[in-house]
């Protein structure tokens, strides 16, 4: 259930920033694997940390993609 809660949180932030939800999940997963770990248990990101990463991804995208 914790996995689903994590995914819900990620999806909510992706929608907030107009990002593709699967792509945002992949992006966060890459960050975690490269050592950019959040302050939650298991290195998961807090809501504020997710927003910060969403901004990072969004800035590097042309139009932020769309929710798919």
Partner 1 sequence: MEALMGDDTSPLVQAVLEALAGQECTVVRDSYAEQLVIGFGSPSRADWPLRSTSRAPWLVYSRYGGWLVGDGDRKIASDEKTLNDRVLQRIRAVLLHQHVQQVDFDSDAKSLAISLENGAEVRFGPSEGVDETEELWALEAPSALLIEARLGGVSVKRHAREHDETGLSKAAALHRLVRHVAELTGLALLEPPPSAGQALDAILAAPDGKLLLVQFKLQAEPPRVDIRTIVVGDEAREVGSTELPLPELTPATMAARVRRILSAA
Establish if 10 lies at the interface with partner 1 (CB under 8 A): yes
CB of 39 to partner 1, least distance (A): 16
Closest by CA position to 42, among listed 2, 14, 8, 11: 2
Shortest spacing between CB 9 and partner 1, in angstroms: 9
Where do contacts with partner 1 occur on this chain (CB under 8 A)? 1, 3-4, 6-8, 10, 20, 22-30, 32-34, 56-57, 59-63, 65-66, 68
């Amino acid at each position: 259930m914790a996995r689903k809660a994590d995914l819900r949180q990620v999806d909510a932030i992706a929608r907030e920033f107009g990002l593709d939800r699967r792509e945002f999940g992949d992006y966060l997963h890459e960050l975690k694997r490269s050592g950019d770990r959040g302050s939650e248990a298991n290195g998961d990101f807090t809501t504020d940390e997710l927003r910060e990463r969403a901004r990072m991804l969004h800035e590097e995208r042309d139009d932020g993609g769309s929710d798919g």
